[in-house]
Structure 1
């Protein structure tokens, strides 16, 4: 697999040209960055959250952890981490753990971290463990145009309690 059909179709419909960067199999977004020789802060990790049966995808730098209180403050949702079975059901054409950060392709609301606007080049999982999708900042901004954003993540060493994942 390379890029999932769902994601490819969505990006095509949004007239978003992209290229892919192949790498050896990885198990995390941070590892994908290392194997691809791109800065970890430019790889976007997708974290699926839910508030009862409403799902939202948080897009954050790969090395960061989401801060649930900040997400709740921005969205008004009582967010919790989704379970593996929920992730598999929603992202059925993706390998487990290779969720693309463009949740709109899967009918999800997305909230993204402001720090993602700092770099011109960004990378997201393509749905498998061997390919990253390369997007320019302008493309990412166009895809995220109507989505909420804010300071919703932090480095793990800045965690102050267990409400951050």
Structure 2
């Protein structure tokens, strides 16, 4: 497998264009968000995870706390269409500069719509994987909201 930058170039470029300020928090390799949160000494509710879903004929990112799960029933009701988990090969094609399972929760950087769970708009600080399993991106709430401008939000996690 070829080396992947800590923060994907596409995400870094988008964050720069949005004028967001952020820190990089290296940690030991972890393919589980809960372990990444533990390694950074961050509560799971403040670590955003991205779940690539297919809603009808469109792909979008559902962003929620790493300590929670997507309620596909809530998503289907809110979007008024069938919603399912996207396949891994689709995620690899849409996020070619990211490791599998380390999708950044910023759909706009990849031309995708983003839906944010309301719980991700509550805390002062947010952490998330920026494309690999070795680094968390950290930013305050103001920068997080700037990065997510235009994203829809409602309560869809359980």
What TM-score comes out, normalization by structure 2 length? 0.93
Partner of 1:134: 138
Are positions 1:33 and 2:33 aligned together? Answer: no
In structure 2, what is the Cα distance between the partners aligned to 1:61 and 1:104? 19
8 Å CA contact retained: 1:74, 1:148: no
Partner of 1:80: 84
8 Å CA contact retained: 2:116, 2:153: yes
1:77 to partner: Cα distance: 3.1
In structure 1, what is the Cα distance between the partners aligned to 2:11 and 2:137? 10
Partner of 1:161: none
1:40 to partner: Cα distance: 1.0
8 Å CA contact retained: 1:21, 1:134: yes
What TM-score comes out, normalization by structure 1 length? 0.89
Structure 1 gap ranges (5+): 155-165
Structure 2 gap ranges (5+): none
Are positions 1:18 and 2:58 aligned together? Answer: no
Which residue, out of 117, 121, 126, partners 1:122? 126
- Equivalent pairs counted in the alignment come to 154
Q: CA RMSD in A?
A: 1.1
